[in-house]
Structure 1
Amino acid sequence: MDTQVQQDLLSILQGMKNAQLAAGPASLELRRDRLQRSVRLIQENHQALADAISADFAHRSQYQTLLVDMVTTIKGLQHAAEHVGEWMRPQVVEAGGPGMQARIEQQALGVVGVISPWNFPINLAFGPLAGVFAAGNTAMLKPSELTPRTSDLLAELVGQYFAPHELVVVQGDADIGRAFSALPFDHLVFTGSTAVGKHVMRAAAENLVPVTLELGGKSPVVIDEDADLETAIARTLTIKAFNAGQICLSPDYLLITPAHLPGLVNAAQRFVASSYRSFQDNPDYTAIISPQHFARLQGLLEDARAKGATIISLAAAGEADADPHSRKMAPHLVLDATDDMAIMQEEIFGPLLPVMSIPGFDAALQYINAHPRPLAAYYFGHQQDKQQRFSLQTTSGALVINDVMTHAAIDSLPFGGVGASGMGAYHGLHGFKRFSHAKAVVVQSEDGASNLRLRAPHQDGLAAIKAFFQTA
C-alpha cells in the first residue's frame, strides 16, 4: 500500500474531524440543509448522472436508473429531512430514584466512511448518506472504480454542493479502496461482496472502527404448492431481469415443488415475451457491467451445463442468447441445479436463475437453513401458518411474502443483512440510529441518594441488603 496515499487520506479525514469539533454539534437546520442539498444534487443533475451511468454500463435502462438511483434515493433523503426533527428528540426514560432524571440522547458519531458499489452508484451512495447526514455526521465517499464516468461526475458535483469538510469523494482502484477501509473513521459502511467485506472488516478492526456491511449472498425464492405459478414467476423474473439481475437482492435460486415444475418453463417464456420483445436492441434491458463479469456469467452457465444442468434461454426466437460486444445477456433458467455447480456456490449477480425441485415446504426450510443466511428470502404461498413458519424458522436480512424485493423501497423498514449477508441496517429511522451514538444522560437528585448508598461505612446498608434477599 502506498504510504503517501494513506497519509493523504488520513490528512483529509483528520481535517474533517477537526472541522467538526470546531463547529460543534450539527443543528437540525444544518442536517436538513445537507439532506436537501443531496436532493438538489440528484434532482438538478439527474440526466447527466443517468447518461454517465449508462456509458459506464455500455447501456443502462434509463427508466431503471431514474427510478432506483434517482427517484427512490430522493424519496429516502426527503423522508429523513421530514422526520429528523422527531428522531433527534431525547428519549426520557425511567430514572433510578426520586428526584433523578434520565434520558437517551442521540449523538453524531463523527466522520463516516462510505464505500459504495457500481450496480446502483447513486442509490447506494446517498442511501447511507441519508442516515449519516440526518444523524449529524460528515462523510468520505469512495465510489466504485467500475463506474468511472459516474464517479468522476459525482466528485465534481459533490464539490459544487458541499464544502470539503462536509462530504468528500475519494476516487481510485482497489488499492485506494484498501487504504480507505484502513482509515480510523468513526463508522464505516461497505456495500459489496462477502469476500471483499471480510477484508474491509479486518482492516477496520485495526482501528476498532464499527462497520455496517451490506453483502448480498444467495437470496432464495420458494414457490409452494398453493402458490399461483404464473404470478410467482412473473414477480420473480421481473426482478431477475431488472438491471440484468445485477442487484444484491436479486433472486439467486428458485426452490419449486414438483407439481409446479412442468409448467415452469412455459410460464417463464410467456412472461418474458410479454415484457421484452427482444434483449439485444431493447432500451429497457441493461448490459452486464464489464467484459470480466460477462465472461464470469458465461462460465457459470458452461460449468452448470457440464455438470448436468439443462439451460433454458429466454431470448426471443432467432435472437442471440448473449453478445460479448453489447454485453447483453438474456435471462436463463438453469434447471436441475445441484450444489456442486459454481452457480449454486457464489452470488450470481446476473440474469441467471438456477432451479431446484424440492419435495415440499419442510425440505425448502431445511435447504435454506443449511446454507449461509441470505440478504432476503422470498416465499410464495397463501397459507398463513406456512408464512408464519417460514418467517420464524428461516433467518434472512428481510422476508418478502408473495413478491420480490418490495421491502427495499420502504423507508420505514430496516435494510441490511445478517450473518454472511452482512451486519447492521439503515434506511429511515434505522439509518439515523445506525449512525448515531445513544448516549445515556443522568441528572442526579439534589440529595444524591443513589450516590450516598455507595459510601462507607456500609453496616446499615448491609442490613437493608440482607432484608432484600429475605423478601425478594
Structure 2
Amino acid sequence: MVADIAAPLLDRLQQNQQHILGLEPLLATQRAAFRSNPMPAAEQRIAWLKALRELILSEKQTLVAAVSSDFSNRSADETLLAEIMPSLHGIDYATKRIKKWMKPSRRSVGAAFQPASARVVYQPLGVVGIIVPWNYPLYLAFGPLIGALAAGNRAMIKMSESTPATSQRVKDLLARIFPEDLVSVVLGEADVGQAFSRLPFDHLLFTGATSIGRHVMRAAADNLTPVTLELGGKSPAIVSADVPMGDAAERIAFGKTMNAGQTCVAPDYVLVPAARVDEFVEAYRSTVQRFYPSLTDNPDYTAIVNERQLNRLQGYLDDAQSKGATLLPLYPQNQDRRLAQTLVLNTSDDMKLMQEEIFGPLLPVIPYQRLEDAFTYINDRPRPLALYYFGYDKAEQQRVLHETHSGGVCINDTLLHVAQDDMPFGGVGPSGMGHYHGHEGFLTFSKAKGVFIKQRFNAAKFIYPPYGTGIQKLIHKLFIR
C-alpha cells in the first residue's frame, strides 16, 4: 500500500525535476531565436495572433470542458464570457492596431541642438515570462501572450498546477501552431514555478496572490528583470445613500457570483449605509436566488476549484462565526464543492475574512454613516485592485475617483472594466504594479527606445572644448533669459 502511494509521488517529483532542468535550455533556445529575428514585421505578428484566434475559436469547446473538469463544475457560459470572448476581442483589437503601435513616434528637438531629429522606436524586449493563476487559466494565459506577441517577443508560459487538465490542453494546443522557440508552455508544481521566476527573462508578468507576488519580485530582482504584478487584494463596493437598491444589489451580485467569486477583481466586501443594510441583504438574496434557483446539479453555479480552497473558505466562515459574525447563507446547504453564497454581518477586523482576500462566494457587509466614513475605511487599508461605486449623483462619483486609490474603478458596475481593451489594467501598491491589455500591453512588452539623429552637418562643434567667453555668451543667449 505504501508503495502504491509512493510510486506516483516519486513520478511527480521526477517530472518536476525534468521540468526544472529544461527551463534554462528552453530560455536559451528562445533567446537564440529572438536574436535571429529581433524586430518581427507587423505582418508576422498579425499572423501569429490570427493563428491564435483560429485555434481558440476552433477549440473553444475542448477548452471549456478542460476548465470545467478542473473545477469539478465551471459554468460553460462563464468560461465563454470571461475567458474565450475577451481573448478573441483582445486579439481583434491588437491586430487592427499593431502597425500603428509599431510606428516610431516623432519627438521635438530643441533649437540649440538643430539640425537633428528625434524619435522613439518601439523595440521588442526579447523573451517574456508569464505566470498564470488557476482562477482564469485561459484568459490569464492568452491575454498576456497577446501583448507579448503584438510587441514582437517570444514567450514562456508557466501554467498553474491547480488546473492540470487545462494546463495540459493549453500546452498541447499552442504547440500545434507555435514552435517551441516562439511560444512554449511549462507545466509542473510550485517548485517549477519558483525556478521559472528565477530565470533571467527580459520581462516577467505574474498574476496571483500578493503573498506569492512578493516572492516572484524577489526572485526577479536577482536578475534585474522588470516585472508586472497583477495581485488583487480586497476590492470594495460602495452603495450610496440614494441609489435604487435593486440596481446596486444586482450588479454586485453579478460580480460576486461570477466564477463563484474566484476573481481577482470580485467585490470583496460591500459598504452600505447603516440604515439600508437590511434592504441590501434582501435585495442581494433575491437577486442571487433569481440567478441560481438552486445549487443542486446547477450547471451555471461554478464550484470551488479544489478541496484546499474550499477548506480555506470554510475556515474563514468558522473563524468569523466564532468571533461574533452573523452568517446568512443564501441556500440551505452546499453541494459537493458548490459553496453557497453567504453574506457576513457584524464583522470585525480580527476576522480572517477581513484580513485576507476572500476569493470566494462570501460577502461581508460593512455599515457606514457618511460617505466620508466609507472613504476612510477604504483608505486605511491596502490599495485594492478594483473599486466599485453605486450611485447616480455625478458629484459623488467624482469624489470617489478623487478621494480613493485603486487599480481601476467601475461606476455602477462590476468586473467589466477588465474587458475594455482600450483601457490599461493593473494594480497599485499591494494590488500590483504595471499595466497591460491593449496598447498598454504593447508598451509593457516593448522598449521605448529614444533615438537622436544627426546627419553630416554638426552644429554642436561650436560647444566643443576648448571653452572660452564665447561658450558662456552662447549659453546665456540660448538658455538663461
The TM-score bracket by the shorter chain reads: over 0.9
Unaligned ranges ≥5, structure 2: 1-12
Aligned with 2:198 (options 182, 187, 196): 182
Q: How many residue pairs get matched? A: 465
Unaligned ranges ≥5, structure 1: none
* Local SS of the residue matching 1:447: coil
Shift of 1:393: 1.2
Segments of 4+ moved more than 3 angstroms: 1-7, 466-469
Give the equivalent residue in structure 1 for 2:4.
Answer: none
Aligned with 2:49 (options 19, 32, 35): 35
Shift of 1:385: 1.6
Aligned with 1:69 (options 71, 83, 88): 83
Matched, 1:272 2:288: yes
Aligned with 1:20 (options 24, 34, 39): 34
Contact 1:98–1:445 (8 Å) recurs in 2: no
Counterpart code for 1:131: G
1:186-265 alignment to 2 at 5 Å? 186-265=202-281
Shift of 1:387: 1.0
Counterpart code for 1:368: I
Give the equivalent residue in structure 1 for 2:386.
Answer: 376
Deviations 1:73-122 (A, max 9, x none): 11111111111111111101102333211101100000000001111111
Taking the aligned partners of 1:65 and 1:363, their CA distance within structure 2 comes to: 37
* Local SS of the residue matching 1:35: helix
1:284-303 alignment to 2 at 5 Å? 284-303=300-319
Shift of 1:260: 1.2
State the TM-score, normalized to the length of structure 2: 0.94
Give the equivalent residue in structure 1 for 2:119.
Answer: 103
Give the equivalent residue in structure 2 for 1:45.
Answer: 59
Shift of 1:450: 3.2
1:293-332 alignment to 2 at 5 Å? 293-315=309-331, 319-320=332-333, 322-323=334-335, 326-332=336-342
Give the equivalent residue in structure 1 for 2:23.
Answer: 9
Shift of 1:405: 1.3
Give the equivalent residue in structure 1 for 2:135.
Answer: 119
* Local SS of the residue matching 1:8: helix
Aligned with 2:457 (options 437, 443, 447): 447
Shift of 1:467: 5.2
Taking the aligned partners of 2:88 and 2:418, their CA distance within structure 1 comes to: 14
Give the equivalent residue in structure 1 for 2:73.
Answer: 59
Give the equivalent residue in structure 2 for 1:145.
Answer: 161
Contact 1:224–1:360 (8 Å) recurs in 2: no
Deviations 1:344-367 (A, max 9, x none): 100001000001111110001111
Give the equivalent residue in structure 2 for 1:345.
Answer: 355
Cα distance change on mapping 1:454 and 1:344 into 2, 3 Å? farther
Deviations 1:191-231 (A, max 9, x none): 00000000000000000000000000000001010211111
Matched, 1:408 2:418: yes
State the TM-score, normalized to the length of structure 1: 0.96
Taking the aligned partners of 2:467 and 2:288, their CA distance within structure 1 comes to: 81
Counterpart code for 1:173: E
Give the equivalent residue in structure 2 for 1:87.
Answer: 101
* Local SS of the residue matching 1:304: helix
Counterpart code for 2:105: Q
Cα distance change on mapping 1:261 and 1:467 into 2, 3 Å? same
Taking the aligned partners of 2:303 and 2:109, their CA distance within structure 1 comes to: 58
Counterpart code for 2:174: V
Cα distance change on mapping 1:39 and 1:257 into 2, 3 Å? same
Counterpart code for 2:349: D
Shift of 1:264: 1.8
Give the equivalent residue in structure 1 for 2:151.
Answer: 135
Cα RMSD for the two superposed structures: 1.5
